[in-house]
Amino acid sequence: MGAGLAGLVAAESLLDAGNWPSGRRPEVILVEADSRAGGVVETIRRDGWLIERSADNFLAARPEGMALVDRLGLRDELISVHEPARRALVFRAGRTLPVPTGFRLLAPGATAGIEATEILSAAGKSRLLAERNVPPKLLAAGESGDESLESFALRRLGREAFDRLVQPLVAGIWTADPARLSMAAACPEFLAMEQAHGSLSAGEEARLREVGPSHRGEGARYGQFVTLASGMGTLPERLAERIEAAGASRLRAVVSALERLPSGGWRVVLVPRPGGAGAIEADGVVVALPAPIAARVVAAADDPLAAELARIEYAGSAVVVLGYARQQVTHPLDAAGVVVPRVEGRRALAVSFSSAKFSGRAPDGHVLLRVFLGGALDPERNLLDDDQLVALAREELAAIVGASGPPRLVEIARWPAAMPQYHLGHLKIIDRITHRLDALPGLALAGAAYEGVGIPQVIASGQAAAARVMASLRAPR
């Protein structure tokens, strides 16, 4: 259920003949509410512009995204962030200033970079540099040590580094409330670093020694983000073609409920459609729907599972994509984009310089900018009408990158409740979900709600869900 990336990948794995004894490949039906496969991942190609409505790249350092690109024969299409754009800027009092060299999301990195930055005051820099001397949190044996991002960053890095660096950088990724975002679920690497090395400064130094000089600095990190020349939408488009060619059928229908049959199989109940069957019976089911919808769907089959799924909250955002002639924008656009700290009191969370990041995003002599609005701390932003939203994005671009005059291209992507929030307690919810699923053979969950929102993790979740269903189909009932 659900032909987002997670559902498509699950179908692909289920159809892979290598996973089955000969002649036993299952019949796979993909039920999707929309006419289009891909869920949130969608590219619009229009008049020389290439517009990403949501994800515009993925991390190549994890294997799952790259492996999918290879299976789809898209390796030649891979492009990475342009060398000159391999850095991020932070907005401060009308200026856009580079993130200190070596600073990685929460890890201070190089002292020189922090000393040189104009993003922090002298007091903020001294406090950040003193991170090395802040004792690690003492944990009792077996204690997870989870805490919110805000509490962790304030404790280790101080208020100013939190407000001016961590909050905007993380908001750009998770659109989350930092007072509720779980370190253990969202940024486990930094929790572990504190415990293993005593401080993030020491941990980052140790990491850099291990990865070697070529991986140092922000540029190297940005080089790990890749996309496809024809846009991220090509991934689900090609994948949908591939699985249909392999024999899957796609049914356009809205799933309303899942029921367990006395035989141990499953009944997928569909919202009535003219001329269509009202239900499908199946031996195994992958639910690759956003968690709140999955909660409603599985309620009839297992109420405690539904209750856990309903605990996973979502935040919405809106991406307003505006295209301009180059001379309409005064900023040099010499970065991947700019993040805006909440303490600046502006309304944009971030602006991505799409045409500076990747080639082929705007016609010659033009630039494409994506303005991110909304997020967990500003939910009403989504409710503005289209004209108000565009006016707001234009005001933000005027203030942040000096854009003037009417945009040549306007595209609005609204994502109400599209981003799962890994709040404090998220890992416990996942444990309880896993435990409930143990009693429900043939049922699996996949998608961004559980163990990572990034595209490689979502791909991994689809594969794991398919493996779970295949294991229970192979086991004697």
Ligand X SMILES: Cc1cc2nc3c(=O)[nH]c(=O)nc-3n(C[C@H](O)[C@H](O)[C@H](O)COP(=O)(O)OP(=O)(O)OC[C@H]3O[C@@H](n4cnc5c(N)ncnc54)[C@H](O)[C@@H]3O)c2cc1C
Q: In sequence order, what are the residues at sequence separation of 6 or more whose Cβ sits closer than 8 angstroms to the Cβ of residue 72?
A: 235, 238, 239, 242
> Is 387 buried (19+), middle (13-18) or exposed (0-12) by CB count in 10 A?
exposed
- Interface positions, 254-293, toward ligand X (CB under 6 A): 254-255, 288-290, 293
Q: Specify the residue, 162 or 174, whose C-beta has the smaller distance to ligand X.
A: 174
| Interface with ligand X in residues 442-471 (CB under 6 A) | 447-448, 453-455, 458
Nearer to ligand X by Cβ, of 58 and 103: the residue is 58
Q: Distance of CA 424 to CAs 139, 178, 313, 421, 427, Å?
A: 17, 10, 11, 9, 8
Q: Which of 13, 15, 30, 39 binds ligand X (CB under 6 A)?
A: 39
Nearer to ligand X, 27 or 34 (CB): 34
Q: Please choose, out of 5-13, 126-134, 145-153, 336-344, the segment that lies near ligand X by the rule CB under 6 A.
A: 5-13
Q: Does 2 sit near ligand X (CB under 6 A)?
A: yes
**Min dist. Cβ of residue 462 to ligand X (A):** 7
Query: What does the alpha-carbon distance between residue 354 and residue 54 come to, in Å, rounded to a whole number?
Result: 12
Chain residues 149-178 in contact with ligand X, contact rule CB under 6 A: none
Residue 203 makes contact with ligand X by CB under 6 A: no
Q: Is the separation of the CB atoms in 321 and 413 below 8 Å?
A: yes
Q: Could you say which residues in the range 305-324 bind ligand X, by CB under 6 A?
A: 317, 319
Q: Is 34 one of the binding residues for ligand X (CB under 6 A)?
A: yes
Rounded CA-CA distance 226/58 in Å is 6
Give the residue ranges of DSSP H helices in 247-385. Answer: 291-298, 303-310, 354-357
**Binding status of residue 243 toward ligand X by CB under 6 A:** no
Q: Alpha-carbon distance 403 to 330, whole Å?
A: 7
For ligand X, which residue of 1, 171, 191, 444 counts as binding (CB under 6 A)?
1
Q: For ligand X, what does the binding mask look like between residues 406 and 435, x meaning CB under 6 A? A: ---------x--xx----------------
Q: Are strands 366-374 and 348-352 parallel, antiparallel or unpaired?
A: antiparallel
Among 58, 222, 324, 358, binds ligand X (CB under 6 A): 58
Find out whether 15 and 463 touch, Cβ atoms under 8 Å.
no
Q: How far is it, in rounded angstroms, from Cα 354 to Cα 371?
A: 10
Whose CA is closest to 125, among 136, 135, 114? 114
Looking at beta carbons only, is 96 or 421 nearer to ligand X?
Answer: 421
* Binding of ligand X by 4 (CB under 6 A): yes
Identify the residue among 40, 68, 183, 362 touching ligand X (CB under 6 A).
Answer: 40
Residues forming contacts to ligand X in the complex (CB under 6 A) are: 1-7, 31-34, 39-41, 54-58, 254-255, 288-290, 293, 317, 319, 415, 418-419, 447-448, 453-455, 458
